[in-house]
Amino acid sequence: MVPLEHFLVVSALLFSIGVYGVLARRNAITILMAVELMLNAVTLNFVAFASYGDPDRFTGVIFAIFVVTVAAAEAGLALAIVLRVFRNLKTSNVDEVDSLKW
């Protein structure tokens, strides 16, 4: 059997890669992709803990379902905002969207 720690390390690595992506990228859609990676790492952690814990109390699995739900809602809403910004400012780079900065 694979030890629990290995799942946690994979999940930590995935989350760190997502953090790097969010911080380094300029394009709003690639930032969203990195956020999806981070949410994926969180889900993996939830499911790993649920699976290695008491099988009769699998709250982590339920929370994984909620994370996936919220991720879908977030992706839909964020992409709508990106589309709107692109239509108004002709760019999807977050560092060029600075109308509020005077």
Partner 1 sequence: MGGALTVEQVVFYLISAVVIGSAVGVVALNNVVYSALFLVAALVATAGLYIILRVEFIALVQVLLYAGGVIVLLLFALMMTRGRDVPHQLSGAQQPFAVVAGVALFVVLAAAALATSWTQPEVLTGVSFEAIGQSLFSTWAIPFEIASLVLLVALIGAVVIARQEGD
What separation in angstroms does the CA of 81 have from each of 46, 55, 86, 92? Answer: 29, 41, 8, 10
Q: Among 3, 99, 100, 102, which residue sits at the site for partner 1 (rule: CB under 8 A)?
A: 3
- Relative orientation angle of helices 4-24 and 28-52, to the nearest 10 degrees: 170
Encoding tokens for residue 40? Answer: 């994926």
Of the pair 38, 100, the CB lying nearest partner 1 is at: 38
Per rule CB under 8 A, is residue 97 in the interface with partner 1? no
Of the pair 71, 101, the CB lying nearest partner 1 is at: 71
Q: Among 23, 98, 100, 102, which residue sits at the site for partner 1 (rule: CB under 8 A)?
A: 23
Q: Which helix (H) or strand (E) holds 38?
A: helix 28-52
Binding region for partner 1 (CB under 8 A): 1-10, 12-21, 23-27, 29-30, 32-34, 36-37, 40, 43-44, 47-48, 50-52, 55, 58, 61-62, 64-66, 68-77, 79-84, 86, 90-93, 95
